[in-house]
Structure 1
């Protein structure tokens, strides 16, 4: 049976748009008039106009280089012009020269600072856009269909680094059944992407080659260890990956190895059960444990839905610090189709948190036995 994919639209990397030119002109005019009025009322228009020397600095943090240069030019024109127009008010010329020099120096520094800021923003945007494109190619779009299962779900990276997260998933149709991976790389954002790529690449290669789950997990662990060795040479932090690997074939019991990950849930008829799996060490830390990876078996009957999640869901908190009750939410949605369950669960979690942005990546997969089996 060929796999089918429903392409989901890729949202652009979010950027902060600079204000429009008209907005900048209006804001500068308003500030100039306000300072002029205050100076007239106080009887010290020359020295209050000196406050305008800080206007280019404010523009450098928000505006484009051209807009900042305009603000700089306007400030120089107003301040220096005012100094010459009021040359007969008795103020020392040395004070006037210092004020004009200060205006020129701070204005030029503001334009340079704006140029540097724009350059850093463009470089960050380029790196993030590259990571987004790579991650969207690595993480296959959902749903995914094999001869054994239909897998659908929700993948939502953390808000602060939109589209770039440390949660991973994949599905491989192997000669020994369909193998499903869900994992969570330590950390989030761009630094976690490299380890995520290493695990997914090893999973896709080894799932077709290794006949047992223990050998597959050994290969995944080795990939994280190798990645960490390269990271150490470049001064990056070493990382570990929690993961749950499930093998589903024609039998009503499935095999699973839990590498320190969140436990799965099985929804069948009107019940929700949580298989009691042996929790092993995360990928990348196997050498620290004397015990080998343990294969567990649990029931996954026809008509049931297997739900796999990351701790971004289980560690969602309300304003009072209480954790999201995953099992209770599942009990309310036990009759939903498997394709709708992840979205409903994610919606409940966001409502529980009061609609606030999440503080960790979230991945939720629903696994349903293929209707063609």
Structure 2
């Protein structure tokens, strides 16, 4: 296990040590090829490839050393072939000098952009921790495990979100997905999470928490999108785990959760799911609270549609209930890790949409 943990670090450090040698190896290969070929075949101009390569993968000092070495190697080759100081030789040397200076400029620009990118990623990581905070392993009588799977490996934040809070009314959870992508979707997610964090403590009814989210959404959406919210909505699922052996759910157009009871996986959906957040005014009535059994040892898996809509190369959707049955008896963290890794494999690497998972388990002694 320790070897598996240290191997990636070993690869990274080895790569970092060997990278500066690559341009020098290229210089040596070009020089050897020119020495081994007829004198009329001049490969001196090809030496310019070495500083260009160095500018792409090395720092300023290495790039400068490679550029100087290219001119030095060219001079040695010219002396060996008896053409040092000739007009053609001087033209090539000037060209190598120009390429070397241009490579230094390109390297400087690349390094500055890398620093800017590093800073942006640092800000994005901070935003991610604010938007989707790390979950505790346990809240009251509930074990927790969550995972956010970005559509692209380098992405950090998106329109999917979840939150778990310990409130005077029990453990309350929210998982949701904002329609749309980009910064507006991230801002909308942040607004919904902020509203939930406030409402979950103050509203005794889970239905009233959903109404709070609806009202907050309408206040913020015009600022975020500049259009009516009927075009920009969010699906969500709210769950409340009180001290009793039950769970309360409010379904706002979100994929139904999966339940695991005695190792058997089945749906915990609503026969009449409510409208997504932002579209409640289009239907009559308000949010409906459903009460379902949730005893010690029971589990719920909440997820966004990015999970069940992930397709493989043949266009088949990810069979979440079927795959869940394989790992239903595994510890909660392993179960989520299995689903996350299997989902990536099913989609062939990157997903078409962001995905979030939130697994919960009631401790047996709480039943």
Does the 8 Å CA contact 2:264/2:328 hold for their aligned counterparts?
yes
2:308 matches 1:314:
yes
Partner of 1:140: 134
Deviation at 1:331, TM superposition (A): 3.0
1:4 aligns to what?
Answer: none
Q: Distance in 2 between matches of 1:100 and 1:362?
A: 56
1:258 and 2:247 aligned: no
> Which whole-Å CA distance do the structure 2 matches of 1:273 and 1:265 have between them?
6
- Closer, same or farther: CA 369–35 of 1 in aligned 2, 3 Å: closer
For the 8 Å contact 2:149–2:340, the answer to whether it is kept is no
Q: Could you tell me which runs of 5 or more consecutive residues in structure 2 were left unpaired when the two chains were aligned.
A: 1-11
- Secondary structure (helix, strand or coil) at the match of 2:177 reads strand
**Where has structure 1 moved over 6 Å in runs of 4 or more?**
187-191
Deviation track 1:221-277 (CA, whole Å, cap 9, x = no partner) reads: 4545555545458xxxx9754321123335565443333322111222354332343
Q: Distance in 1 between matches of 2:335 and 2:26?
A: 54
SS at match of 2:42: helix
The alpha-carbon distance between structure 1 residues 121 and 246, as it changes in their structure 2 partners (threshold 3 A), is: same
DSSP-derived class of the 1:160 partner: coil
Alignment partner, residue 38 of structure 1:
33
2:61 pairs with 1:66: yes
Q: SS at the partner of 2:136?
A: coil
- 2:359 matches 1:366: yes
Q: How does 1:11-30 map to 2 (within 5 A)?
A: 20=16, 23-25=19-21, 27-30=22-25
Q: Scaled by the length of structure 1, what TM-score is found?
A: 0.76
Distance 2:332 2:58 in 1: 48
SS at match of 2:105: helix
* Distance (whole Å) between structure 1 residues aligned to residue 72 and residue 323 of structure 2: 65
What TM-score does the superposition give when structure 2 sets the normalisation length? 0.77
Q: Indicate yes or no: 2:49 matched with 1:54.
A: yes
Residue 204 of structure 1, CA deviation: 0.7
Other-structure match for 1:152:
144
Task: Determine which of 91, 112, 123 is the counterpart of 2:116.
Answer: 123
Contact 1:265–1:273, Cα closer than 8 Å, also in 2: yes
Aligned to 1:109: 102
Give the corresponding residue for 1:161.
154
Counting matched residue pairs gives 347
How far 1:102 sits from its partner (Å)? 2.2
In structure 2, do the counterparts of structure 1 residues 240 and 139 end up closer, same or farther at CA, with 3 Å as the change threshold?
farther
| 1:284-319 deviations in Å (ceiling 9; x for gaps) | x43884556532414224243222112343234444
Cα RMSD (Å): 3.7
Deviation (angstroms), 1:49: 1.0
- Name whichever structure is richer in helix by fraction: 2
Tell me by how many angstroms 1:139 deviates.
0.9
In structure 2, C-alpha distance between the alignment counterparts of 1:307 and 1:132, rounded to whole Å: 25
> Which runs of 5 or more structure 1 residues have no equivalent in the other structure?
1-15
Q: Which residue of 1 aligns with 2:6?
A: none
Q: Secondary structure at the match of 1:365?
A: strand
SS in 1 for 2:256: coil
What is the rounded CA distance, in whole Å, between the counterparts of 1:63 and 1:310 in structure 2?
Answer: 42
Structure 1 pair 113/205, CA: closer, same or farther in 2 (3 Å)? same
Q: Is the 8 A contact 1:164 1:190 kept in 2?
A: no
Distance 1:64 1:240 in 2: 47
In the alignment, which residue of structure 1 is the partner of 2:318?
324
